[in-house]
Amino acid sequence: MTTVFHRAPKRALPVAVAGDGIEIIDSEGKRYIDASGGAAVSCLGHSNQRVIDAIKRQAQQLPYAHTSFFTTEPAEALADWLVERAPEGLRHVYFVSGGSEAVEAALKLARQYFVETGEPRRRHFIARRQSYHGNTLGALAIGGNAWRREPFLPILIEAHHVSPCYAYREQRSDESDEAFTQRLADELESKILDLGPETVAAFVAETVVGATAGAVPPVGDYLCKIRAVCDKYGVLLILDEIMSGMGRTGHLYACAEDGVAPDLLTIAKGLGAGYQPIGATLVSDRIYEAIVKGSGFFQHGHTYIGHATACAAALEVQRVIEEDRLLDNVKARGEQLRASLREHYSRHEHIGDVRGRGLFVGVELVEDRATKVPFSHELAVNVAIKREAMKRGLMVYPMGGTVDGVSGDHVLLAPPFICTADDIDRIVSRLTDAIDDALRSAGS
């Protein structure tokens, strides 16, 4: 285990050796409920036989064929499946191997679209503070956390940031939803005007913010207003559903709930559910046609795009979700999870907010509930919660500290779509104990 270089090389991690439904088992035989789906990935749990069989079948028949020579049946079938259910106008699919690659492809598609359509000055990307879009250079540049970008600033493209639609932190107490979302739309419009509309390529946002803020859904008609501002100035809208898409919110595409169709949509994580690494960028007719009529090809590519075994696995994942009507369970269990957390935490002095959509739920911790003052970064409350949760056999995804002075510590819950009402009770009970012990050890 010492030769594998993960994020923190000195950290001793348990060795995961097996999966059983919603649980992972380590080499000591200890079981962990995967209440975060890893990082909102494992939507079918860890031992789905149908997906395993689909992978075996495809690997036996044809594991891989390079896309400069062939397309494959699973890639075509998966693209059809995704497009048949996609928001209006998104009728083309570019497969990649993960989330950051999907975002890179979206940024380059947006840029190439404007080159093809005779607007080469459009080069600026606007995103939001308190967002995460990946770790490759383009995705990192647009991501909203300054501390992630800091060491790499000299080698990043220039990106611009506006306020997130983060009601708990950004909405004034006397401000209606309507006024709040209008203020955010006005801020985007001002940013576009400051930069010069003829220089702006796209606005990028997570439909529901994931890791950086803990399952923050858009308020009211925020996305409709944002879409209107983009349209007014010919700016493309890129929605990043790498965490929130593929059923996580109870809808296959999270933006369907908001009635908004972007020009480019990125998905990954739940697409392959962790059984294979796969992501995709869904592309509108307008962008696809411009590229086809222009230079004729997207100036991009990776060795593993459209990987046959990854596509076969993802197609089976999506079939299982639909045939087993798992999105109904996502909605029901999600409501149960939020209601149970709110009941447990209604008087807890350090739980500031419980929020989310479907089985994508965030709990925000604060030092002072009345003032919403976050815990100091030095206390590393989120690290303590993760440690206490793992002791109790519970995987949750805590992030935070006073990142860029905006968010407090939070816990992200994204359990598999197959979880039962009993599983939700076990998750809440273990999490409650973990939070209380973590806060005690952090000295609050």
Q: Considering only residues 283 through 312, tell me which ones interact with ligand PLP, judged by CB under 6 A.
A: none
Q: Does 132 bind ligand PLP (CB under 6 A)?
A: yes
Binding mask 347-366 for ligand PLP (x = CB under 6 A): --------------------
Which pair of tokens denotes residue 389?
Answer: 């949760």
Q: Does 106 bind ligand PLP (CB under 6 A)?
A: no
Q: Considering only residues 379 through 418, tell me which ones interact with ligand PLP, judged by CB under 6 A.
A: none
Q: Choose which of 43, 54, 127, 211 interacts with ligand PLP (CB under 6 A).
A: 211
Strand, coil or helix: 44: coil
Q: Does 103 bind ligand PLP (CB under 6 A)?
A: yes
Q: Does 189 bind ligand PLP (CB under 6 A)?
A: no
Q: Choose which of 87, 134, 214, 358 interacts with ligand PLP (CB under 6 A).
A: 134
Binding mask 245-284 for ligand PLP (x = CB under 6 A): -----------------------x----------------
Where does residue 232 rank: exposed (0-12), middle (13-18), buried (19+ CB within 10 A)? exposed
Taking 3-state DSSP, the helix, strand and coil percentages for the chain, each rounded to the nearest 5, stand at 45, 20, 40
Contact residues for 151 (Cβ-Cβ < 8 A; gap 6+): none
Q: How many CA atoms lie within 13 A of 50 on its CB side?
A: 14
- Ramachandran quadrant class, 130 (left: phi over 0; alpha: psi -120 to 50; beta: rest): left
Min. distance of Cβ 118 from ligand PLP in angstroms?
31
Q: Choose which of 100, 276, 284, 340 interacts with ligand PLP (CB under 6 A).
A: 100
Q: Does 242 bind ligand PLP (CB under 6 A)?
A: yes
Q: Choose which of 39, 137, 157, 383 interacts with ligand PLP (CB under 6 A).
A: 39
What ranges in 45-195 are assigned the alpha helix state H?
Answer: 49-61, 73-84, 99-116, 137-142, 146-149, 167-170, 177-195
Q: Choose which of 74, 99, 144, 218 interacts with ligand PLP (CB under 6 A).
A: 99
DSSP string, 151-203: GGGGGSPPEEEE----HHHHS-TT--HHHHHHHHHHHHHHHHHHH-GGGEEEE
The position carrying tokens 């064929």 is 65
- Yes or no: say if 374 and 367 are a contact pair by the CB < 8 Å rule: yes
Which pair of tokens denotes residue 137?
Answer: 């250079």
Q: Does 214 bind ligand PLP (CB under 6 A)?
A: no
**Which part of the chain contacts ligand PLP (CB under 6 A), choosing from 129-137, 368-376, 378-386, 418-426?**
129-137
Which chain residues interact with ligand PLP by CB under 6 A?
A: 39, 98-100, 103, 132-134, 206, 210-211, 240, 242-243, 268
